[in-house]
Chains A and B, each alone.
Chain A
């Protein structure tokens, strides 16, 4: 037994039950992904034959993707989402790192009041109406800043980073200080290089939250042409508004099946997450843990 040497090894029936339960859990997560990808690649004939969703297609067609990329509604939304995610994640990561570093030395001059501001922010959210009034009074309605500035700092991420910075070996920092390095040089040359893993996790948390946000866009953007991908997804996939010739780059007769188009939009919204996930995943336990234990 690798995890708990004191435990007696379980009997065969217990192990079989365990295996079946875990396999079922994984299947419940994986099967929908297979179905979505399959349906997005299916032909009209196949969709009709299976009555909607296709589990595994006999024949693969990229017509749905071609139609989407030739049209401008979904492509524009993808660009909007990418832009908000990149700008937002950069601003969030920089301001969160700086704030966490500013809070990382006990006994520094504004340590206590600043820390209270961060910790208390974890206990309540301002509420929909007060947030809306604030964004409105700052004149941010119908600007992309409304999707970034109100959520730029996540207090939980500050706590995670601060806990990590406080765990770094003090001798290294002290010896840099003796060599004449100031607080900023210490952050840049010592703290950041030692914190790459946890910074990657926090960056992922921010990137995912910007990429996934839909309600802030619904609340603050009245102009439909500004909508990010999640709202387009809501219109065409959740509310099942038909994706018509206007939104796609094909002639009416060649329109791929709605199911394939809808699933293709869904796939496009999942891909960025699937691309980043494996690189960051191994740092999770490290990053999340420290925040949870210390916070």
Chain B
């Protein structure tokens, strides 16, 4: 069949796909051209084309030890590490717990409750934490009633990183179990039976049957998480950045927003944003390659 004949045969499929493809190209791919301002001294009224080329000058902020940039980078890395260490394993543990429940009914009820916070906005989650853990919040009122003193979490920059980690756990740990529960349901039951016959207890079954059954999924999700390691919940953090101050709460994305769009340092902020995006992409591709080397499927087959 010639190309023309195939186009005739599939014209409906191509036509219906076009609006969506056009939207992706317009808002996902074409904006990448806007990164050109990272190499220019961009002045909004004269426009991108007329602004002067400045070579790599805007990238200096990344390498010359600018304290504001380093602070944002440091906070980002610390929050990412906390999230990989604390937030990543939580849904796995929770899914194992749910999976071992005897009653399907209880399991469904618990799932319905734990999935819900995922659908609340960051504004709502941040507000809820503020009103539960704040000075006049439920926790401190309770502790005051029983003369236990009070804890200072809300508004305390030192507690900020623990707070954002707690918020992510509350919002998404339940929802994230959905993938692990699905993977657990696909593990072949005969493996459990055979290992039980061989005298394996529950702990050995967990180690030799359950965890290997989750391995591919865990690796896949870790790869995707790695690609996001320089983006740590932008909406969540930008909401709280004013309260906790830049020292504790500035991350790379908020740095780009505050310096670029609000303070008008367009060039250097675009440079930081662009390098951040590139590093993320390289991390995903690199981790995927590594996964292939270990014989895993990863996110795509090359």
Q: Do the two chains bind?
A: yes
Task: Please report which residues of chain A, range 76-102, place their CB below 8 angstroms from some CB of chain B when the two chains form the complex.
Answer: 95-96, 98-99, 101-102
Q: Is residue A281 within 8 Å, beta carbon to beta carbon, of the partner chain? A: yes
Interface centre among A2, A31, A151 (most CB of B within 10 A): A2
Q: Is residue B215 within 8 Å, beta carbon to beta carbon, of the partner chain? A: no
Q: Is residue A192 within 8 Å, beta carbon to beta carbon, of the partner chain? A: no
Within the assembled complex, what's the spacing in Å between the Cα atoms of A277 and B114? 12
Residues A18 and B100 in contact in the complex (CB < 8 Å), given A153-B23, A212-B121: yes
The contact of A32 among B25, B132, B178, B266, by CB within 8 Å, is B132
Q: Is residue A253 within 8 Å, beta carbon to beta carbon, of the partner chain? A: no
- Interface range on chain B: under 10, 10 to 19, 20 to 34, or 35 or more? 35 or more
Residues A109 and B25 in contact in the complex (CB < 8 Å), given A6-B196, A29-B114, A292-B182: no
CB distance B273 to A128 under 8 Å?
yes
Within the assembled complex, what's the spacing in Å between the Cα atoms of A167 and B53? 52
Stretch from A50-58, A62-70, A168-176, A241-249 that touches the partner:
A50-58
Within the assembled complex, what's the spacing in Å between the Cα atoms of A293 and B297? 12
Task: Please report which residues of chain A, range 12-38, place their CB below 8 angstroms from some CB of chain B when the two chains form the complex.
Answer: 18, 21-22, 25-26, 28-32, 35-36
CB distance B97 to A22 under 8 Å?
yes
Residues A1 and B102 in contact in the complex (CB < 8 Å), given A124-B277, A128-B273: yes
Residues A263 and B19 in contact in the complex (CB < 8 Å), given A6-B195, A18-B101, A127-B31: no
Contacts of A95 in B (CB 8 A): 19-20, 23
Contacts of A212 in B (CB 8 A): 119-124
Contacts of A270 in B (CB 8 A): 120, 124
Task: Please report which residues of chain A, range 247-270, place their CB below 8 angstroms from some CB of chain B when the two chains form the complex.
Answer: 259, 262-263, 266, 269-270
- Tally A residues with Cβ within 8 Å of B: 99
Interface centre among A39, A124, A262 (most CB of B within 10 A): A124
Closest to A230 in B: B123
Q: Is residue B246 within 8 Å, beta carbon to beta carbon, of the partner chain? A: no
Closest to B257 in A: A128
In the assembled complex, the CB of B183 is this many whole angstroms from the nearest CB of chain A, namely: 9
Within the assembled complex, what's the spacing in Å between the Cα atoms of A68 and B69? 43
CB distance A110 to B10 under 8 Å?
yes
CB distance B189 to A233 under 8 Å?
no
In the assembled complex, the CB of B255 is this many whole angstroms from the nearest CB of chain A, namely: 10
Within the assembled complex, what's the spacing in Å between the Cα atoms of A208 and B127? 18
Closest to B281 in A: A124
Task: Please report which residues of chain B, range 78-121, place their CB below 8 angstroms from some CB of chain A when the two chains form the complex.
Answer: 94, 97-104, 110, 112-117, 119-121
Contacts of B35 in A (CB 8 A): 127, 130
CB distance A129 to B20 under 8 Å?
no
Contacts of A213 in B (CB 8 A): 121
Task: Please report which residues of chain A, range 109-123, place their CB below 8 angstroms from some CB of chain B when the two chains form the complex.
Answer: 109-111, 114, 117-119, 121, 123
Q: Is residue B239 within 8 Å, beta carbon to beta carbon, of the partner chain? A: yes
Closest to A134 in B: B31
The contact of B261 among A125, A129, A234, by CB within 8 Å, is A129
Contacts of B181 in A (CB 8 A): 285
In the assembled complex, the CB of B286 is this many whole angstroms from the nearest CB of chain A, namely: 12
The contact of B19 among A99, A155, A277, A281, by CB within 8 Å, is A99
CB distance B123 to A233 under 8 Å?
yes
Contacts of A8 in B (CB 8 A): 196, 201-202
Within the assembled complex, what's the spacing in Å between the Cα atoms of A281 and B174? 13
Within the assembled complex, what's the spacing in Å between the Cα atoms of A151 and B25? 12
Within the assembled complex, what's the spacing in Å between the Cα atoms of A174 and B48? 52
CB distance B122 to A214 under 8 Å?
yes
CB distance B17 to A211 under 8 Å?
no
In the assembled complex, the CB of A153 is this many whole angstroms from the nearest CB of chain B, namely: 5
Contacts of A215 in B (CB 8 A): 234-235, 238
Given contacts A129-B270, A130-B32, A182-B12, 10 further A-B contacts (CB under 8 A): A29-B114, A29-B116, A99-B20, A125-B28, A127-B270, A127-B274, A127-B277, A128-B234, A149-B23, A273-B120
A-B contact pairs, 14 of them (CB 8 A): A3-B100, A4-B99, A6-B191, A7-B202, A51-B136, A53-B136, A121-B29, A126-B31, A128-B234, A129-B269, A130-B35, A134-B31, A233-B127, A270-B124
